[in-house]
Structure 1
């Protein structure tokens, strides 16, 4: 919200697909409530990470329609993403440069997202096992989603490094011109094929 008065309603408060059935109009902004327990007595306000004090949160949230008499089980806080400067500290195998017996996994490695963090844990686990067996640790092909993330972690400019989700922008550049509508499909097919070959070739 510090970036402008309208910022939030184009983010977590964007009213996409929530037409008022009585008026047919879209609301200016919405607050999403996500059910947190089976009984339906606890709900989470989606996307409400904030630096506001608890008193201010309570004052503001009680002004929202339907929340005037709500009991707040816990208040919002800023999510802290702790990560290392991977380009300076990590090898493409997730080993640390100074101590190759130490591997870094998950969010700490510098990726963003549950799937991405899990993928880094998987690769770190594979390579930890290989090191224990006196075998060479592996780097996944850059054409794969896993390999593209590794490239981001280890080849980005360390002065400006920030965590990233997997996205097609991390994949190798096109060697030839490809129609825009086909790029995602072709990348996915190449990624699956490269991963199959890598897994089979290394007996993972």
Structure 2
């Protein structure tokens, strides 16, 4: 059985899926902060530190050193344009406050919340900033970081404009913008393997956006992988192994990695694909080489499939 009922799964089917999983691994809505690439940050401004130097320095910090630059950011956030909210999405706001709503409650509200600067000393100059935006590592390769506490309903161009005012994020590459909407999806890393097969019941496969892949192409790719896996299981053929360096393999690894604790739906992006062994400064050239490597890796997979089909 392949389940591909999408992000607005009906209540009745949702209840049956929940019964099948026998655990609270279904999410009713998606409230996710923006994610940026690590190599697009300005490290002359961003610094690594933990609050009061306790534990590992797991966060990158973007400091507003003056009240003036913080207030300019706060005013821009308060006046930014939000996306229209559908009736069935109002419950999202009750469960998780958007950063722009927090800002609207007062100039200093964010400074006592996610932008609290206390204990985050810049090791380069010993200063404590007026406000600090923290970035949390989002994948094992440390190539992606999310903006802590910045779940938002702002329109995407507004997110790029306003969040680009954060020190160190002026030229940040956003691989995912913040979203808040109704979205039925699985906590796939705890449920599925990289073939989109349910670990607890091998008769079931899941595919599409409900697995935590975002976008039409990604959803189709997940359907291809689930369909291949299910068909080959019936035919008693070995599973197809898409290499990690391909987009298919990277996406499958993302949704099936049990080490991911705060799983959020994701589009395919270069940050999910293992980096090259050599450093290339020009992004266009680097991405072209990553793509070429992926095509070469697929050459080891596709001919075998064609031979079996013949």
Residue 87 of structure 1 contacts residue 157 of structure 1 at CA under 8 Å; is this kept in 2?
yes
Residue 276 of structure 2 contacts residue 290 of structure 2 at CA under 8 Å; is this kept in 1?
no
Note the residue ranges of structure 1 that are not aligned, 5 or more in a row.
Answer: 10-47, 54-77
Q: Which residue of 1 aligns with 2:53?
A: none
Match of 2:247 among 117, 127, 145: 145
Q: Which residue of 2 aligns with 1:198?
A: 301
Match of 1:7 among 80, 84, 87: 80
**Greater CA radius of gyration, 1 or 2?**
1
What SS does the aligned partner of 2:249 have?
Answer: helix
Structure (1 or 2) with the greater strand fraction: 2
RMSD over aligned Cα, in angstroms?
2.4
What displacement does 1:177 show?
Answer: 1.7
Whole-Å separation in 2 of the counterparts to 1:147 and 1:139: 8
What SS does the aligned partner of 1:197 have?
Answer: coil
Residue 86 of structure 1 contacts residue 158 of structure 1 at CA under 8 Å; is this kept in 2?
no
What displacement does 1:52 show?
Answer: 6.9
What SS does the aligned partner of 1:8 have?
Answer: coil
Whole-Å separation in 1 of the counterparts to 2:297 and 2:189: 24
What SS does the aligned partner of 2:244 have?
Answer: coil
Match of 2:85 among 36, 43, 50: 50
Note the residue ranges of structure 2 that are not aligned, 5 or more in a row.
Answer: 1-75, 89-179
Whole-Å separation in 2 of the counterparts to 1:122 and 1:137: 13
Residue 190 of structure 2 contacts residue 258 of structure 2 at CA under 8 Å; is this kept in 1?
no
What displacement does 1:139 show?
Answer: 2.8
Q: TM-score of the superposition, structure 2-length normalised?
A: 0.42
User: Are the structure 2 counterparts of residues 175 and 80 from structure 1 closer, same or farther at C-alpha, using a change threshold of 3 Å?
Assistant: same
Whole-Å separation in 2 of the counterparts to 1:139 and 1:153: 15
- Deviating above 6 A after TM superposition, structure 1's stretches of 4 or more consecutive aligned residues are none
Match of 1:111 among 201, 213, 216: 213
Map Cα deviations across residues 78-124 of structure 1 (whole Å, 9 max, x no partner). 74221111111111111111112211111111101111011101111
Whole-Å separation in 2 of the counterparts to 1:6 and 1:183: 38
Q: How does 1:2-151 map to 2 (within 5 A)?
A: 4-8=77-81, 48-51=83-86, 79-151=181-253
Identify the structure with bigger relative contact order (alpha carbons < 8 Å, sequence gap 6+).
2
Residue 85 of structure 1 contacts residue 158 of structure 1 at CA under 8 Å; is this kept in 2?
no
